[in-house]
Structure 1
Amino acid sequence: MHVLHVEGSPRKQRSASLDVARSFISSWQTRYPSGTIDTLDVWNMALPPFDGAALDAKYAGLAGQARTVEQETVWNEIRALAERFHRADLILFSAPMWNFGIPYRLKHLIDAVSQKDLLFTFDERGLLGLLGGRTVVIVAARGVALGEDFPEKDFDFQTAYLRMWSRMVGVTDVRTVTVEKTLFGPEADEASRSKAKAEAAALAGVV
Protein backbone atom coordinates (compact mmCIF):
# COMPACT_ATOMS: atom_id res chain seq x y z
CA MET A 1 0.00 0.00 0.00
CA HIS A 2 1.24 3.45 -0.89
CA VAL A 3 -0.05 6.90 0.11
CA LEU A 4 0.59 10.17 -1.68
CA HIS A 5 0.22 13.00 0.84
CA VAL A 6 -0.27 16.37 -0.86
CA GLU A 7 0.53 19.08 1.70
CA GLY A 8 -1.39 22.27 0.97
CA SER A 9 -0.47 24.33 4.05
CA PRO A 10 2.64 26.52 4.44
CA ARG A 11 2.27 26.72 8.25
CA LYS A 12 3.79 23.29 8.99
CA GLN A 13 4.02 22.85 12.78
CA ARG A 14 1.11 25.25 13.40
CA SER A 15 -1.08 23.83 10.65
CA ALA A 16 -4.38 22.28 11.72
CA SER A 17 -4.77 20.39 8.44
CA LEU A 18 -1.30 18.87 8.78
CA ASP A 19 -1.89 18.06 12.45
CA VAL A 20 -5.01 16.07 11.58
CA ALA A 21 -3.36 14.49 8.52
CA ARG A 22 -0.51 13.25 10.70
CA SER A 23 -3.05 11.43 12.88
CA PHE A 24 -4.44 9.75 9.79
CA ILE A 25 -0.94 8.77 8.63
CA SER A 26 0.08 7.45 12.05
CA SER A 27 -3.01 5.24 12.25
CA TRP A 28 -2.59 4.14 8.63
CA GLN A 29 1.04 3.15 9.26
CA THR A 30 -0.06 1.05 12.23
CA ARG A 31 -2.47 -0.77 9.93
CA TYR A 32 0.04 -1.03 7.08
CA PRO A 33 3.49 -1.25 8.73
CA SER A 34 5.16 -1.95 5.39
CA GLY A 35 3.23 0.80 3.61
CA THR A 36 5.01 3.79 2.11
CA ILE A 37 4.32 7.53 2.16
CA ASP A 38 5.24 9.98 -0.59
CA THR A 39 4.96 13.59 0.61
CA LEU A 40 4.35 16.21 -2.05
CA ASP A 41 4.75 19.58 -0.32
CA VAL A 42 3.55 22.24 -2.74
CA TRP A 43 5.30 24.97 -0.73
CA ASN A 44 8.76 23.41 -0.84
CA MET A 45 9.11 22.23 -4.41
CA ALA A 46 9.55 23.82 -7.80
CA LEU A 47 6.21 23.54 -9.54
CA PRO A 48 6.49 23.85 -13.32
CA PRO A 49 4.92 27.11 -14.49
CA PHE A 50 2.04 26.32 -16.82
CA ASP A 51 2.70 28.80 -19.57
CA GLY A 52 5.12 29.14 -22.46
CA ALA A 53 6.69 25.77 -23.26
CA ALA A 54 4.30 23.81 -21.00
CA LEU A 55 1.23 25.30 -22.64
CA ASP A 56 2.70 24.75 -26.09
CA ALA A 57 3.53 21.14 -25.14
CA LYS A 58 -0.07 20.57 -24.06
CA TYR A 59 -1.53 21.79 -27.34
CA ALA A 60 1.09 19.98 -29.41
CA GLY A 61 -0.02 16.76 -27.74
CA LEU A 62 -3.69 17.54 -28.29
CA ALA A 63 -2.98 18.20 -31.98
CA GLY A 64 -0.84 15.08 -32.37
CA GLN A 65 2.23 17.14 -33.25
CA ALA A 66 5.82 16.41 -32.28
CA ARG A 67 7.05 18.43 -29.32
CA THR A 68 10.23 20.48 -29.37
CA VAL A 69 13.07 19.60 -27.03
CA GLU A 70 12.08 22.44 -24.70
CA GLN A 71 8.45 21.35 -24.72
CA GLU A 72 9.34 17.71 -24.07
CA THR A 73 11.59 18.69 -21.17
CA VAL A 74 8.84 20.54 -19.31
CA TRP A 75 6.26 17.88 -20.21
CA ASN A 76 8.51 15.23 -18.68
CA GLU A 77 8.45 17.22 -15.42
CA ILE A 78 4.65 17.29 -15.51
CA ARG A 79 4.51 13.60 -16.40
CA ALA A 80 6.74 12.77 -13.42
CA LEU A 81 4.31 14.59 -11.11
CA ALA A 82 1.40 12.64 -12.60
CA GLU A 83 3.21 9.35 -12.04
CA ARG A 84 3.30 10.08 -8.31
CA PHE A 85 -0.51 10.11 -8.34
CA HIS A 86 -0.63 6.88 -10.34
CA ARG A 87 1.68 5.10 -7.90
CA ALA A 88 -0.61 5.88 -4.97
CA ASP A 89 -3.32 3.58 -3.66
CA LEU A 90 -4.63 6.46 -1.54
CA ILE A 91 -4.25 10.20 -2.11
CA LEU A 92 -4.36 12.35 1.03
CA PHE A 93 -4.89 16.09 0.72
CA SER A 94 -4.27 18.31 3.76
CA ALA A 95 -5.53 21.76 2.88
CA PRO A 96 -6.56 24.94 4.70
CA MET A 97 -9.43 27.05 3.43
CA TRP A 98 -8.27 30.32 1.88
CA ASN A 99 -11.02 32.73 0.83
CA PHE A 100 -13.47 29.81 0.76
CA GLY A 101 -11.18 27.91 -1.63
CA ILE A 102 -7.79 26.20 -1.62
CA PRO A 103 -4.30 27.78 -1.45
CA TYR A 104 -2.93 28.98 -4.77
CA ARG A 105 0.06 26.63 -4.67
CA LEU A 106 -2.24 23.62 -4.39
CA LYS A 107 -4.32 24.95 -7.29
CA HIS A 108 -1.08 25.43 -9.25
CA LEU A 109 -0.17 21.76 -8.75
CA ILE A 110 -3.62 20.60 -9.83
CA ASP A 111 -3.62 22.84 -12.91
CA ALA A 112 -0.17 21.61 -13.93
CA VAL A 113 -0.69 17.88 -13.43
CA SER A 114 -4.31 17.46 -14.58
CA GLN A 115 -3.68 16.86 -18.26
CA LYS A 116 -5.12 14.64 -21.00
CA ASP A 117 -3.49 11.20 -21.09
CA LEU A 118 -1.84 11.86 -17.72
CA LEU A 119 -4.70 11.91 -15.19
CA PHE A 120 -7.68 11.80 -17.55
CA THR A 121 -8.58 11.40 -21.18
CA PHE A 122 -11.64 12.01 -23.31
CA ASP A 123 -13.25 10.68 -26.45
CA GLU A 124 -16.74 10.28 -27.91
CA ARG A 125 -17.82 8.68 -24.61
CA GLY A 126 -16.92 11.83 -22.67
CA LEU A 127 -14.40 12.56 -19.89
CA LEU A 128 -12.64 9.46 -18.57
CA GLY A 129 -10.54 9.62 -15.40
CA LEU A 130 -7.39 7.49 -15.19
CA LEU A 131 -7.11 7.15 -11.39
CA GLY A 132 -10.08 4.86 -10.84
CA GLY A 133 -9.92 2.36 -7.99
CA ARG A 134 -8.11 4.70 -5.62
CA THR A 135 -9.33 6.52 -2.53
CA VAL A 136 -9.01 10.24 -1.87
CA VAL A 137 -9.01 11.54 1.71
CA ILE A 138 -9.41 15.29 2.22
CA VAL A 139 -8.38 16.88 5.52
CA ALA A 140 -9.89 20.36 5.36
CA ALA A 141 -9.05 23.07 7.91
CA ARG A 142 -11.12 26.22 8.36
CA GLY A 143 -10.60 29.16 10.69
CA VAL A 144 -14.37 29.55 11.05
CA ALA A 145 -17.33 27.22 10.66
CA LEU A 146 -19.45 27.40 7.55
CA GLY A 147 -23.18 27.81 8.11
CA GLU A 148 -25.86 30.42 8.79
CA ASP A 149 -24.78 33.49 6.76
CA PHE A 150 -22.18 31.40 4.90
CA PRO A 151 -23.94 28.12 4.04
CA GLU A 152 -21.63 25.31 3.02
CA LYS A 153 -23.50 24.60 -0.21
CA ASP A 154 -22.77 28.15 -1.41
CA PHE A 155 -19.39 28.93 0.16
CA ASP A 156 -17.43 25.67 0.19
CA PHE A 157 -15.04 25.91 -2.75
CA GLN A 158 -12.46 23.92 -0.74
CA THR A 159 -13.70 20.35 -0.33
CA ALA A 160 -16.18 20.79 -3.18
CA TYR A 161 -13.33 21.60 -5.56
CA LEU A 162 -11.20 18.65 -4.44
CA ARG A 163 -14.20 16.33 -4.74
CA MET A 164 -14.85 17.61 -8.26
CA TRP A 165 -11.19 17.07 -9.18
CA SER A 166 -11.32 13.54 -7.75
CA ARG A 167 -14.33 12.70 -9.90
CA MET A 168 -12.65 14.25 -12.96
CA VAL A 169 -9.66 11.90 -12.59
CA GLY A 170 -11.86 8.87 -11.94
CA VAL A 171 -11.91 8.57 -8.13
CA THR A 172 -15.35 7.91 -6.68
CA ASP A 173 -14.32 6.94 -3.14
CA VAL A 174 -13.75 10.34 -1.49
CA ARG A 175 -13.70 10.83 2.30
CA THR A 176 -13.53 14.13 4.16
CA VAL A 177 -12.42 15.13 7.66
CA THR A 178 -13.03 18.76 8.59
CA VAL A 179 -11.44 20.78 11.40
CA GLU A 180 -13.16 24.15 11.99
CA LYS A 181 -13.04 27.20 14.28
CA THR A 182 -9.25 27.14 14.51
CA LEU A 183 -9.28 30.96 14.87
CA PHE A 184 -11.71 30.99 17.82
CA GLY A 185 -9.04 30.76 20.52
CA PRO A 186 -6.85 27.95 21.91
CA GLU A 187 -9.65 26.00 23.56
CA ALA A 188 -11.91 25.91 20.49
CA ASP A 189 -8.92 25.13 18.29
CA GLU A 190 -7.79 22.24 20.47
CA ALA A 191 -11.29 20.82 20.81
CA SER A 192 -11.83 20.88 17.05
CA ARG A 193 -8.42 19.38 16.35
CA SER A 194 -8.95 16.58 18.88
CA LYS A 195 -12.30 15.65 17.37
CA ALA A 196 -10.94 15.74 13.82
CA LYS A 197 -7.82 13.74 14.75
CA ALA A 198 -9.98 11.02 16.27
CA GLU A 199 -12.11 10.95 13.10
CA ALA A 200 -9.00 10.81 10.91
CA ALA A 201 -7.45 7.97 12.93
CA ALA A 202 -10.69 5.99 12.74
CA LEU A 203 -10.97 6.61 9.01
CA ALA A 204 -7.45 5.27 8.45
CA GLY A 205 -8.64 1.99 9.88
CA VAL A 206 -11.27 1.47 7.19
CA VAL A 207 -9.88 2.90 3.93
Structure 2
Amino acid sequence: MPKLLHLDSSVLGPHSVSRQVSAAVVERLRQTASGLEITYRDLSAAPLPHLSGAHLAAAQGISPSDPVIQQDLATAQAVLEEFLAADIVVIGAPMYNFSIPSQLKAWIDRIAVPGKTFKYGPQGPEGLSGGKRVIVAISRGGYYGADTPMAAFEHLETYLRGVFSFLGVTDIEFIAAEGIQVSPEHREQAVKSALEAASSLRAA
Protein backbone atom coordinates (compact mmCIF):
# COMPACT_ATOMS: atom_id res chain seq x y z
CA MET A 1 0.00 0.00 0.00
CA PRO A 2 1.61 3.31 -1.07
CA LYS A 3 2.10 5.93 1.64
CA LEU A 4 1.74 9.68 1.21
CA LEU A 5 2.99 12.28 3.68
CA HIS A 6 1.17 15.62 3.42
CA LEU A 7 2.72 18.68 5.07
CA ASP A 8 1.44 22.26 5.32
CA SER A 9 3.47 25.15 6.67
CA SER A 10 1.46 28.32 5.99
CA VAL A 11 0.34 30.33 9.03
CA LEU A 12 -2.75 31.63 7.19
CA GLY A 13 -5.04 28.66 7.80
CA PRO A 14 -8.06 28.61 5.46
CA HIS A 15 -6.83 31.78 3.72
CA SER A 16 -3.67 30.04 2.53
CA VAL A 17 -3.11 29.49 -1.18
CA SER A 18 -0.39 26.87 -0.65
CA ARG A 19 -2.73 24.87 1.60
CA GLN A 20 -5.47 25.00 -1.03
CA VAL A 21 -3.12 23.76 -3.73
CA SER A 22 -1.44 21.08 -1.61
CA ALA A 23 -4.89 19.73 -0.70
CA ALA A 24 -5.80 19.59 -4.40
CA VAL A 25 -2.58 17.67 -5.11
CA VAL A 26 -3.37 15.12 -2.40
CA GLU A 27 -6.94 14.74 -3.65
CA ARG A 28 -5.70 14.13 -7.19
CA LEU A 29 -3.29 11.45 -6.00
CA ARG A 30 -5.91 9.88 -3.75
CA GLN A 31 -8.22 9.53 -6.73
CA THR A 32 -5.55 7.84 -8.83
CA ALA A 33 -4.16 5.39 -6.25
CA SER A 34 -6.37 2.79 -4.65
CA GLY A 35 -5.69 2.37 -0.95
CA LEU A 36 -3.31 5.32 -0.65
CA GLU A 37 -2.38 5.72 3.02
CA ILE A 38 -2.21 9.42 3.91
CA THR A 39 -0.47 10.97 6.93
CA TYR A 40 -1.03 14.69 7.52
CA ARG A 41 1.13 17.03 9.58
CA ASP A 42 0.34 20.73 10.04
CA LEU A 43 3.66 22.36 10.83
CA SER A 44 1.99 25.66 11.71
CA ALA A 45 -0.70 24.31 14.04
CA ALA A 46 1.79 21.98 15.76
CA PRO A 47 5.24 23.49 15.12
CA LEU A 48 8.41 21.57 15.82
CA PRO A 49 10.85 23.36 18.13
CA HIS A 50 13.96 24.68 16.44
CA LEU A 51 17.21 22.88 17.09
CA SER A 52 19.14 23.76 20.24
CA GLY A 53 22.40 22.77 21.82
CA ALA A 54 20.56 20.12 23.81
CA HIS A 55 19.26 18.55 20.61
CA LEU A 56 22.71 18.44 19.09
CA ALA A 57 24.18 16.99 22.29
CA ALA A 58 21.55 14.24 22.21
CA ALA A 59 22.52 13.49 18.62
CA GLN A 60 26.04 12.89 19.89
CA GLY A 61 24.81 10.34 22.40
CA ILE A 62 24.35 12.50 25.50
CA SER A 63 21.05 11.58 27.15
CA PRO A 64 19.01 14.69 28.01
CA SER A 65 17.66 15.08 31.53
CA ASP A 66 15.06 17.67 30.56
CA PRO A 67 11.70 15.88 30.01
CA VAL A 68 10.71 18.55 27.48
CA ILE A 69 13.75 17.72 25.35
CA GLN A 70 13.08 14.00 25.78
CA GLN A 71 9.55 14.45 24.46
CA ASP A 72 10.78 16.60 21.61
CA LEU A 73 13.32 13.96 20.60
CA ALA A 74 10.55 11.37 20.52
CA THR A 75 8.51 13.66 18.25
CA ALA A 76 11.54 14.22 16.04
CA GLN A 77 11.98 10.46 15.68
CA ALA A 78 8.32 10.11 14.68
CA VAL A 79 8.76 12.90 12.09
CA LEU A 80 11.81 11.19 10.64
CA GLU A 81 10.04 7.83 10.47
CA GLU A 82 7.08 9.44 8.67
CA PHE A 83 9.42 10.77 6.02
CA LEU A 84 11.36 7.53 5.66
CA ALA A 85 8.15 5.52 5.27
CA ALA A 86 6.58 7.82 2.68
CA ASP A 87 6.58 6.96 -1.00
CA ILE A 88 5.17 10.39 -1.86
CA VAL A 89 5.66 13.67 0.02
CA VAL A 90 3.36 16.64 -0.68
CA ILE A 91 4.38 19.98 0.82
CA GLY A 92 2.52 23.27 0.98
CA ALA A 93 5.23 25.94 1.08
CA PRO A 94 4.52 29.68 0.89
CA MET A 95 7.33 32.17 0.38
CA TYR A 96 8.03 34.21 3.52
CA ASN A 97 10.62 36.96 3.09
CA PHE A 98 12.11 35.27 0.02
CA SER A 99 12.49 31.81 1.60
CA ILE A 100 10.58 29.02 3.37
CA PRO A 101 8.60 29.39 6.61
CA SER A 102 10.67 28.73 9.72
CA GLN A 103 8.22 25.97 10.62
CA LEU A 104 9.16 24.10 7.46
CA LYS A 105 12.85 24.68 8.13
CA ALA A 106 12.43 23.09 11.58
CA TRP A 107 10.93 20.01 9.88
CA ILE A 108 13.81 19.82 7.40
CA ASP A 109 16.27 19.99 10.30
CA ARG A 110 14.59 16.87 11.73
CA ILE A 111 14.71 14.82 8.53
CA ALA A 112 18.20 15.78 7.32
CA VAL A 113 19.91 13.21 9.53
CA PRO A 114 23.33 11.69 8.79
CA GLY A 115 23.12 7.94 8.35
CA LYS A 116 19.36 8.09 7.80
CA THR A 117 18.67 10.35 4.83
CA PHE A 118 22.23 11.11 3.71
CA LYS A 119 25.78 10.09 4.43
CA TYR A 120 29.31 11.23 3.69
CA GLY A 121 31.59 8.88 1.79
CA PRO A 122 34.85 8.92 -0.14
CA GLN A 123 33.13 10.72 -3.03
CA GLY A 124 31.42 13.26 -0.78
CA PRO A 125 27.78 13.42 0.36
CA GLU A 126 25.36 10.73 -0.81
CA GLY A 127 21.58 11.00 -0.51
CA LEU A 128 19.79 7.99 0.95
CA SER A 129 16.20 9.03 0.18
CA GLY A 130 16.04 8.18 -3.49
CA GLY A 131 12.88 6.60 -4.82
CA LYS A 132 10.53 9.10 -3.23
CA ARG A 133 8.30 11.42 -5.21
CA VAL A 134 8.13 14.96 -3.80
CA ILE A 135 5.52 17.49 -4.92
CA VAL A 136 5.69 21.04 -3.59
CA ALA A 137 2.83 23.53 -3.83
CA ILE A 138 4.43 26.97 -3.55
CA SER A 139 2.83 30.40 -3.36
CA ARG A 140 4.59 33.71 -3.89
CA GLY A 141 3.22 37.22 -3.54
CA GLY A 142 5.16 38.53 -6.53
CA TYR A 143 6.96 37.12 -9.54
CA TYR A 144 10.36 35.46 -9.06
CA GLY A 145 10.90 33.45 -12.23
CA ALA A 146 14.31 33.22 -13.88
CA ASP A 147 13.38 35.94 -16.36
CA THR A 148 12.12 38.46 -13.77
CA PRO A 149 13.95 41.32 -11.99
CA MET A 150 13.33 39.55 -8.64
CA ALA A 151 14.87 36.24 -9.67
CA ALA A 152 17.89 36.73 -7.41
CA PHE A 153 15.58 36.91 -4.38
CA GLU A 154 14.04 33.47 -5.00
CA HIS A 155 15.20 31.20 -2.16
CA LEU A 156 12.08 29.05 -1.78
CA GLU A 157 12.05 26.70 -4.75
CA THR A 158 15.83 26.81 -5.16
CA TYR A 159 16.39 25.92 -1.50
CA LEU A 160 13.92 23.03 -1.53
CA ARG A 161 15.37 21.66 -4.77
CA GLY A 162 18.81 21.76 -3.20
CA VAL A 163 17.76 20.11 0.06
CA PHE A 164 15.87 17.23 -1.52
CA SER A 165 18.57 16.72 -4.12
CA PHE A 166 21.10 16.46 -1.28
CA LEU A 167 18.88 13.81 0.33
CA GLY A 168 18.85 11.83 -2.92
CA VAL A 169 15.40 12.78 -4.24
CA THR A 170 15.42 13.13 -8.03
CA ASP A 171 11.64 13.02 -8.62
CA ILE A 172 10.56 16.48 -7.45
CA GLU A 173 7.78 18.63 -8.92
CA PHE A 174 6.72 22.21 -8.16
CA ILE A 175 3.31 23.76 -8.68
CA ALA A 176 3.50 27.53 -8.28
CA ALA A 177 0.86 30.16 -7.64
CA GLU A 178 2.64 33.45 -8.30
CA GLY A 179 1.68 37.10 -8.03
CA ILE A 180 -1.06 36.47 -5.48
CA GLN A 181 -0.46 39.84 -3.81
CA VAL A 182 -0.31 41.83 -7.03
CA SER A 183 -4.08 42.18 -7.33
CA PRO A 184 -7.26 40.18 -6.68
CA GLU A 185 -7.36 39.35 -10.39
CA HIS A 186 -3.79 38.06 -10.37
CA ARG A 187 -4.53 36.00 -7.26
CA GLU A 188 -7.62 34.44 -8.82
CA GLN A 189 -5.75 33.52 -11.99
CA ALA A 190 -2.73 32.18 -10.10
CA VAL A 191 -4.86 29.93 -7.92
CA LYS A 192 -6.87 28.73 -10.92
CA SER A 193 -3.73 27.84 -12.86
CA ALA A 194 -2.16 26.05 -9.88
CA LEU A 195 -5.31 24.02 -9.21
CA GLU A 196 -5.49 23.03 -12.86
CA ALA A 197 -1.87 21.87 -12.69
CA ALA A 198 -2.67 19.88 -9.55
CA SER A 199 -5.63 18.19 -11.21
CA SER A 200 -3.49 17.06 -14.15
CA LEU A 201 -0.61 15.55 -12.18
CA ARG A 202 0.45 12.09 -13.26
CA ALA A 203 -1.05 9.26 -11.27
CA ALA A 204 0.38 8.25 -7.94
Q: Is the TM value for this pair above 0.5?
A: yes
2:14 is paired with a residue whose SS is helix
What number of residue pairs does the alignment pair up?
A: 198
Residue 157 of structure 1: CA displacement?
0.5
Q: Give deviations 1:21-60, integer Å, cap 9, x for gaps.
A: 11111111111131121112111225144113211122x2
1:75 CA drift (Å): 3.9
Residues 87-126 of structure 1: pairs in structure 2 closer than 5 A: 87-126=85-124
CA distance in 1, matches of 2:48, 2:29: 28
| Aligned-pair CA distance for 1:69 | 5.0
SS class of match (2:19):
helix
RMSD: 1.9
Aligned pairs for 1:59-138 within 5 A: 60=60, 66-70=61-65, 73=70, 74-138=72-136
> Once the two structures are aligned, what percentage of the paired residues are identical?
27
Cα contact 1:100–1:157 (8 A) shared by 2 = yes
Displacement of 1:198: 0.7
TM-fit CA distance, 1:136: 0.8
Q: Aligned letter for 1:150?
A: M
1:45 maps to 2:46: yes
Match of 1:148 in 2: 148
Q: Please list every run of 5 or more consecutive structure 1 residues that lacks an aligned counterpart in the other structure.
A: 61-65
Question: Aligned partners of 2:30, 2:51: CA distance in 1, in Å?
Answer: 35
SS at match of 2:119: strand
CA distance in 1, matches of 2:194, 2:50: 34
Cα distance in 1 for residues equivalent to 2:34 and 2:12: 28
Partner Cα separation in structure 2 for residue 131 and residue 12 of structure 1: 30
Q: Is the Cα contact below 8 Å between 2:29 and 2:203 reproduced in 1?
A: no
Alignment check: 8 A CA contact 1:48 1:112 kept: no
Structure 2 residue runs without a partner (length 5+): none
TM-score by length of 2: 0.89
- Partners of 1:14 and 1:33 in 2: how far apart? 30
Q: How much has 1:87 moved relative to structure 2?
A: 1.1
